[in-house]
Copies of this chain bind each other. A is one copy, B any other.
Amino acid sequence: MITGKNYIGNKLSATGNSTFKTVNPVLNLENTTLFHEASPSEINEAVAIASQAYREYRQVSGSSKALFLRAIATEIEALGDLLIETYTSESGLPQGRAIGERGRTMGQLQQFATLLEEGSWVEASMDTAQKDRRPIPKVDMRKMLIATGPVVVFGASNFPLAFSTAGGDTAAALAAGCPVIVKAHPMHSGTSELVASAIIKAANDTGMPEGVFSHLNGKGIAVGTALVQHPDVKSVAFTGSLKGGKALFDLANKRPEPIPVFAEMGSLNPVVLLPEILEEKAEELGTNYANSIMMGSGQFCTNPGLLIGIKSPGLERFIISLGTAISQQEPQCMLHPVIASNYNNLSDQMQQESHINTVGQYDKSVAENHSRARITSISAQEFISNPTLHQEVFGPYSLIITCENKQQLQEVVSSLEGQLTATIMGTNTEVTTYKNTIDTLTEKVGRILFNGVPTGVEVCPSMHHGGPFPASTDGRFTSVGTGAIKRFVRPVCFQNWPSSLLPQELQNNNSIGLFRYINGNYSRENIKPS
């Protein structure tokens, strides 16, 4: 059941006066539940119990935390059709997507559980004592990662499950040993509350400390601002707009104790279409890219928003193919009336930029809250000199840039800011011919693809979802895949401790069987007591 209340740990609470409802964008009607914004006292209470839970929870064993994460996945599935129906009613996304995203969310939790069960992610490193070293003896040093403290996770509008309440950020933080306070995304507060109830049930069933998870509603910026400014909050995870992410980043840096904000803020995801591959299969690429651009109604942070090519018959064929395919795509509902109107307005504004051409768009009438897919094009010279064209248009939109030659392609690529992804479409030979361009792109992105589409972010250890600013606030960290756990930990070195008084991971006897870095060598061996 959806109550509209906040979870302060196990307790449902609604002491605030401000309320709001979510919207069904397909019906263009408000949903019925009244959600209560968290009050300042509820916010403080949630942080206080998180802070209290931290001491105990950070020391919970990997296998116990794994049970907790697996229980969350089970409880999410047990929410059954109610979750799927609530998801579709709050997002305008189809049932198939809801089911797929639920599977992804459960899979993420399970991947972190597997990581915890294996345990080597703590990066145990030990340099044993050398009592006879000259001129001074070497003392025993051992290091491992420990959890940093309570994390505030902001739900994302575009992935109500996989990047929200029990999404990658929450899974990573809980895996790390950090209590989590979710600021629910106001567009899908019902979905969020259901998932929160699953987490709370899992926490109770697996004996996790009260306060390990709380869930707060908020429509405006007040709740999020108070959370980020709270002295006992130690990091923040966010997926959303550049404006939103940068505001949180600035807020966190202005605290008396600055804290890290891991904001994944989207991207143009440039695609470089090289001449030989276009010559080979321009039509096929046009169709593939139309499908990629339309995925989730273009509301993916990896949506290919920039397609860059050198003038050639192949590029012309690609443009015709893509333009035709896009014009035939049925409009899809967007996540929310505000997102739909933002998209349609920005897409229309872009058409007013000088020298921009529309090369394909859906031309029939578009239903309320649905998006008109559109492909535009412009010369490289215009693109380089017009910063307006470098912004993301969140929705089924892409801009084709036509370059005069290889040199101009390099100039376009050099003019780009940090990106989540870049894609090279080319032959193996072209990888050598265009090495400089590919190197430049590599230096600007978190993930570089060869002959594929950037949409579809595989959840696996080798994923890196995060690029140099402004794609992310900290491109050294990923928000997808098990590597995401590294955002919520820091190393602590234990000097000269007797083995038996160390955390289990650092003791001589490697009872958990971790891979450890011992005196410069990787092994799963025990350390012989000196």
Query: In the complex the two chains form, what is the Cα distance from A496 to B447 in whole Å?
Result: 11
Tell me the nearest residue of chain B to A456, going by C-beta.
B136
Tell me the nearest residue of chain B to A506, going by C-beta.
B462
**A138 in the interface (beta carbon within 8 A):** yes
Query: In the complex the two chains form, what is the Cα distance from A449 to B501 in whole Å?
Result: 12
The residue in A114, A127, A442, A491 that gathers the most chain B C-beta atoms within 10 A of its C-beta is A491
Known: A258-B249, A522-B120. A496 touches B451 (CB 8 A): yes
B258 and A446: CB pair below 8 A? no
Query: In the complex the two chains form, what is the Cα distance from A45 to B462 in whole Å?
Result: 38
**A4 in the interface (beta carbon within 8 A):** no
**A277 in the interface (beta carbon within 8 A):** no
A491 and B469: CB pair below 8 A? no
- Residue among B250, B431, B461, B475 making CB contact with A253, cutoff 8 Å: B250
Known: A141-B463, A469-B258. A492 touches B447 (CB 8 A): yes
Identical chains in the assembly: 2
Query: In the complex the two chains form, what is the Cα distance from A478 to B490 in whole Å?
Result: 10
Q: How far, in Å, is A12 (CB) from chain B's closest CB?
A: 30
Known: A428-B498, A448-B494, A450-B496. A463 touches B143 (CB 8 A): yes
Which residues of chain A from 492 to 519 have any CB-CB distance to chain B below 8 Å in the complex? 492-498, 500-501, 515, 517
A478 and B491: CB pair below 8 A? yes
A498 and B450: CB pair below 8 A? yes
Query: In the complex the two chains form, what is the Cα distance from A462 to B497 in whole Å?
Result: 13
- Residue among B431, B469, B491 making CB contact with A464, cutoff 8 Å: B491
Q: Write the residues of chain A forming the contact surface with B, with a CB cutoff of 8 angstroms.
A: 54-55, 58-59, 114, 118, 120, 125-127, 136, 138-139, 141-143, 146, 148-149, 249-250, 253, 257-258, 260, 417-418, 428, 431, 439-440, 442-443, 445-452, 456, 458, 460-464, 468-470, 473-476, 478, 483, 489-498, 500-501, 515, 517, 520, 522
**Interchain Cβ contacts under 8 Å between A and B, 24 examples:** A55-B439, A58-B443, A125-B462, A138-B458, A141-B460, A143-B461, A146-B442, A253-B253, A257-B468, A257-B470, A260-B476, A431-B501, A446-B491, A446-B492, A448-B495, A449-B495, A450-B496, A450-B498, A451-B496, A461-B517, A475-B490, A476-B489, A478-B491, A483-B491
Give 3 closest A-B pairs by Cβ, nearest first.
Answer: A464-B493, A141-B462, A447-B493
